[in-house]
A and B are shown apart, each in its own frame.
Chain A
Amino acid sequence: MKSEKKRIGVFVCHCGINIAGVVNVPEVVKRLKETTDAAVVIDHQYCCSDPGQNLIKETIQKEKLDGAVIACCSPTLHENTFRKTAARAGINPYNCEIANIREQCSWVTEDKEKATDKAAKIIKTLIKKVQYDEPLTPISIPVTRKALVIGGGVAGIQAALDIANTGYPVILLEKNPSIGGKMSMLSETFPTLDCSQCILTPKMVEAKQHPNITLMTYSEIDSVSGYIGNFKVKVRQKARYVDWDKCTGCDICVGKCPKKVSDEFNCGLSERKVVYKMFPQSVPNRVVIDAPNCLYIQKGACRLCEKHCPFNAIKWNDKDEIKELEVGAIVLATGYELLDKQRLGPYGFGKLKNVVDGLQFERILSASGPFMGEVKRPSDGKVPERIVFVQCAGSRDPENAMAYCSKICCMYTAKQAILYKHRVHQGEAVVFYIDVRTGGKGFEEFYKRATDEGILYIRGKVSKIFEKGDKVIVWGADTITGKKVEVEADLVVLATAMVPAAEKSFAQLMKLTQDEYGWFTEAHPKLRPVETLAGGFFLAGASQGPKDIPEAVSQASGAASKVIILFASDTLEHAPVIAGVDEDLCSGCGVCIDVCPYKAREIQVKEDGKKKTVKVIEVLCEGCGACSAACPVGAAQQKNFKDKQIEDMVKVGLE
């Protein structure tokens, strides 16, 4: 701490009438001149304006000041502005502090005299603080210019392509054997009715062939350590039992495999073999063996795939492989799942065969689906003559499931009903809805098209769904006529709520925050929607909340651009207002290590090999102050927030 006194200038802003309307600014200036040792006290209409900033700069230079207090609005607004002004004037920017006399004084105090007193006191405490402020310089960190994108759906693919196209290497990680995500399961997309696969597969292939993209499918994250610019990630590449260098994706083994299990890609509506390719357009076009179901791996019998493989690609001794990656940024494109129908008791607990969810119906409509695109119902393969679509199944339902709107269901229900009518001309489609939300380009027109094509919309919630003979009975309310309605259907499609695919444990692995439902929390809901509060992690697609395809793609490009901005320089600056350790006082007790939320503190053994002290990993420290509060001997001190400073500020404040 400096012993000689600083020459401090105080600049009091009127902020038009925001401050001066309540605080008597000339009186504040007068009092500060009389009662403090500030070298200069000046007021100005708008300190943040160009003339205001020039005045500050010129005064600092003319009066040879080495510290400044700007009494104005909250530091979250203009601290940066005035610190830059101070730096331009030639003083250390961290010796320029903000006294917040707007949000914390004029805006919240009615009595003019009290406000004037309070403003003067706030400013005095800050003069005290500046007196002890040390000159600080930002910390510089190197950046590994390589990105990891987690999740190979349309958002992940888009983010990976955008980053790769600017020349930086990208690793695209996917837990399934193929990339493509949920979009690859869809039949056609709203509101244009393009074939989903047709517009997605070119992107999948591009990602596979891109020289800057490394695909890691059938892989999951084991651990993540490090920090922005310098992550170390361990990836578990699951055993495939097939040598992908030899496999050509010819599918001969698939034909020979004798065992069938439920097909996840068709949402359980059909069966697949134990050695399988997810879908015909899989990227990479390779097969894997599903070990828990394999007759040879489990019981030592069979080996038919091995016998018939022309390329000798079956690899029984395959094991999970751990790969270590070093990356500078991580994009989370982990996507969504649908709410489990078992949670919807009144809709049959998922036990009724002819009650399917939105994705299952997409598979039913899909040309590569269980019925090759013919609309049939699961129980007996009959063509349904009447389908009831239930919107908001588990969405907008705070008592039983999710309180939020899943956003895409109104449009995909309209699309599914239209597609059903196109395939089954005499078929009847009935939609139960709470509201039809058509906020999107071409959405309202598309909804109009659905009603024009004879789809019956009933406003009201469905209360119960049950089987009667081979029909499914739907009970609901028609809230327009105020009557209870009963509809006899052959098939019911539930637009079940979207829920986040990333589990809590995964978020904890990343040390990221999720909202109460598990969607990743963005840094700011309006102004920083693709960043997270943890540096170096970016959000793409439905990992952050329900999204349709165009939104997921634009958010992915947004996340990619943030990664590119990060990679634009090979070093990063980190704010220096962080914790330090007084090694003479530190006993190495480690209390601060446990309380640090950023894992920025560790024990080090001094050179003499005896004394242990705590060391701060400066790039990780966010300057929250938890360690300073916890340290029993006062060795942990926050730079420019030292105990001595705060004590003196309190004293002045209470005078």
Chain B
Amino acid sequence: MTSFAYYPGCTLYTKSKNLDLCARETAQILGVELKELETWNCCGAIFSTVTDDIANQVAPIRNLIEAQKISNKLVTLCAACYNVLKRSNLYLAKAGNETYRKRLMNFLDTEYNGKTEVVHYLETLKYDIGFDNVKAKVVKSLNGLKVASYYGCLMVRPSEELKFDDPDNPVMMDDLFAALGATPVDFPFKGECCGGYILVDKPEVATKCAQTVIENMAASGAECVATTCPLCQYNIDNQQKMMSKQYNLPIFYFTQLLGLALGIDEKILNLNNHFIDPKPLLKQKGLLQ
């Protein structure tokens, strides 16, 4: 079985356990082991753009060094971790940043030059496993479930660094769901902001962002939403109850839908951890007893 170093991140140990557990379980079924880093710390949470940011870069780079003990590839799940770890790594390895690299190394025990490749689990599914092989392992086809794949901002931008997918029209998750038997719903807000952290400071702004996205998904005919990001999950899920019109769009982590299709235990799916209860929809679609 191929093993890849795996970085869960803080939220996946607390609020978003289902994102994490479903990923580990589905990887196992697909013949890949996600081997958690022996020790890890905060990814940094936000990619620092200030000039003197040695302190902010130590955290992500430490994780990348730790990954080297397992593999050259480090798999991530949370959109924010993916964004921060990948960009910190690129910044360190960038030509012209040699002085910065030397200074940074003063704070770290192991010499490191950027050779850990940061990937997202979606990329592992697409490039290492292959969507065709995923399709072959489906035990419960998603049966035309209309899914809006919501990528949010962190997965696709800045596109010249992340090179994940077309920032204006990402399709990697859509393609995965098509392989699982679902019907991907195209909508023009796949990469728009969910409101993010501004919820804490200016909730009215965050509400407007999330509600615009929700309206747009619903208008495009979505029955449910899938995401890679705990914050998007929270905002899209939580904001719906405040809206004058109730759309009742359950929002899943993409690993939950993958797990459902691959037939993992319902306990691991943990469908109770949602504001909008997804069970009625799944029952209606014959995907749940």
Give residues in A with beta carbon < 8 Å to B.
345-346, 348-349, 464, 466-469
Chain B minimum-CB-distance residue to A347: B168
CA distance A464 to B188 in the complex (A): 9
CA distance A469 to B216 in the complex (A): 10
Please tell me if B273 contacts chain A, counting CB pairs below 8 Å: no
Please tell me if B189 contacts chain A, counting CB pairs below 8 Å: yes
Q: Flag if A349 contacts B219 (CB, 8 Å).
A: no
Q: Flag if B189 contacts A346 (CB, 8 Å).
A: no
B residues near A349, Cβ cutoff 8 Å: 168-169
Please tell me if B265 contacts chain A, counting CB pairs below 8 Å: no
B residues near A468, Cβ cutoff 8 Å: 216, 219
Q: Flag if A346 contacts B216 (CB, 8 Å).
A: no
Chain B minimum-CB-distance residue to A352: B188
Tell me what chain A mostly uses at the interface: helix, strand, loop, or mixed: mixed
Please tell me if B128 contacts chain A, counting CB pairs below 8 Å: no
Can you list 17 contacts pairing A with B, beta carbon distance less than 8 Å? A345-B166, A345-B167, A345-B168, A345-B169, A346-B168, A348-B188, A349-B168, A349-B169, A464-B188, A464-B192, A466-B188, A466-B189, A466-B216, A467-B188, A468-B216, A468-B219, A469-B219
CB under 8 Å from chain A, chain B span 218-266: 219
Q: How large, as a class, is the contact surface on chain B?
A: under 10
A residues near B219, Cβ cutoff 8 Å: 468-469
A residues near B188, Cβ cutoff 8 Å: 348, 464, 466-467
B residues near A466, Cβ cutoff 8 Å: 188-189, 216
B residues near A348, Cβ cutoff 8 Å: 188
B residues near A346, Cβ cutoff 8 Å: 168
A residues near B168, Cβ cutoff 8 Å: 345-346, 349
Other than the given A345-B167, A345-B168, A469-B219, 14 more pairs (CB < 8 A) read A345-B166, A345-B169, A346-B168, A348-B188, A349-B168, A349-B169, A464-B188, A464-B192, A466-B188, A466-B189, A466-B216, A467-B188, A468-B216, A468-B219
Question: Which of B167, B188, B189, B219 has most chain A Cβ within 10 Å?
Answer: B188
CB under 8 Å from chain A, chain B span 145-191: 166-169, 188-189
CB under 8 Å from chain A, chain B span 181-212: 188-189, 192
A residues near B167, Cβ cutoff 8 Å: 345
Chain B minimum-CB-distance residue to A465: B188
Chain B minimum-CB-distance residue to A400: B168
CA distance A464 to B209 in the complex (A): 14
CA distance A169 to B13 in the complex (A): 82
B residues near A464, Cβ cutoff 8 Å: 188, 192
Chain B minimum-CB-distance residue to A466: B188
Chain B minimum-CB-distance residue to A468: B219
User: Chain B nearest CB: distance from A189 CB in Å?
Assistant: 34
User: Chain B nearest CB: distance from A518 CB in Å?
Assistant: 23
User: Chain B nearest CB: distance from A648 CB in Å?
Assistant: 45
User: Chain B nearest CB: distance from A401 CB in Å?
Assistant: 12
A residues near B169, Cβ cutoff 8 Å: 345, 349
Chain B minimum-CB-distance residue to A345: B168
CA distance A345 to B219 in the complex (A): 19
User: Chain A nearest CB: distance from B66 CB in Å?
Assistant: 36
CA distance A556 to B26 in the complex (A): 67
Chain A minimum-CB-distance residue to B167: A345
B residues near A467, Cβ cutoff 8 Å: 188
User: Chain B nearest CB: distance from A496 CB in Å?
Assistant: 16
CA distance A345 to B171 in the complex (A): 13
CA distance A467 to B215 in the complex (A): 12
User: Chain B nearest CB: distance from A274 CB in Å?
Assistant: 32
User: Chain B nearest CB: distance from A537 CB in Å?
Assistant: 38
A residues near B166, Cβ cutoff 8 Å: 345
CA distance A346 to B166 in the complex (A): 11
CA distance A464 to B166 in the complex (A): 15
Q: Which 8 A-B pairs have the closest CB atoms?
A: A345-B168, A466-B188, A345-B169, A346-B168, A349-B169, A468-B219, A348-B188, A345-B166
User: Chain B nearest CB: distance from A474 CB in Å?
Assistant: 12
Chain A minimum-CB-distance residue to B216: A466
CA distance A346 to B192 in the complex (A): 11
CA distance A100 to B167 in the complex (A): 55
User: Chain A nearest CB: distance from B188 CB in Å?
Assistant: 4
CA distance A273 to B204 in the complex (A): 55
A residues near B189, Cβ cutoff 8 Å: 466
User: Chain A nearest CB: distance from B287 CB in Å?
Assistant: 30
B residues near A469, Cβ cutoff 8 Å: 219
B residues near A345, Cβ cutoff 8 Å: 166-169
CA distance A345 to B192 in the complex (A): 13
Chain A minimum-CB-distance residue to B168: A345
CA distance A426 to B189 in the complex (A): 32
CA distance A114 to B183 in the complex (A): 79
User: Chain A nearest CB: distance from B60 CB in Å?
Assistant: 26
CA distance A467 to B219 in the complex (A): 9
User: Chain A nearest CB: distance from B232 CB in Å?
Assistant: 18
User: Chain B nearest CB: distance from A334 CB in Å?
Assistant: 31
CA distance A346 to B216 in the complex (A): 15
CA distance A348 to B188 in the complex (A): 7
User: Chain B nearest CB: distance from A645 CB in Å?
Assistant: 44
User: Chain A nearest CB: distance from B95 CB in Å?
Assistant: 21
User: Chain B nearest CB: distance from A32 CB in Å?
Assistant: 50
A residues near B192, Cβ cutoff 8 Å: 464
CA distance A469 to B192 in the complex (A): 19
CA distance A349 to B168 in the complex (A): 9
CA distance A33 to B195 in the complex (A): 84
User: Chain B nearest CB: distance from A200 CB in Å?
Assistant: 38
CA distance A337 to B283 in the complex (A): 53
User: Chain A nearest CB: distance from B282 CB in Å?
Assistant: 29
CA distance A295 to B168 in the complex (A): 40
CA distance A349 to B167 in the complex (A): 13
Chain B minimum-CB-distance residue to A399: B160
User: Chain A nearest CB: distance from B46 CB in Å?
Assistant: 23
Chain A minimum-CB-distance residue to B219: A468
B95-109 to A contact mask, C-beta < 8 Å, 1/0: 000000000000000
Chain A minimum-CB-distance residue to B159: A399
CA distance A467 to B186 in the complex (A): 12
Chain A minimum-CB-distance residue to B186: A351
CA distance A349 to B188 in the complex (A): 10
User: Chain B nearest CB: distance from A419 CB in Å?
Assistant: 30
User: Chain B nearest CB: distance from A461 CB in Å?
Assistant: 15
Chain B minimum-CB-distance residue to A463: B192
User: Chain A nearest CB: distance from B160 CB in Å?
Assistant: 9
Chain B minimum-CB-distance residue to A346: B168
CA distance A349 to B186 in the complex (A): 12
User: Chain A nearest CB: distance from B247 CB in Å?
Assistant: 14
Question: Which of B166, B167, B168 has most chain A Cβ within 10 Å?
Answer: B168
Question: Which of A346, A348, A466, A468 has most chain B Cβ within 10 Å?
Answer: A466
CA distance A348 to B169 in the complex (A): 10
CA distance A53 to B103 in the complex (A): 67
Chain A minimum-CB-distance residue to B188: A466
CA distance A468 to B215 in the complex (A): 9
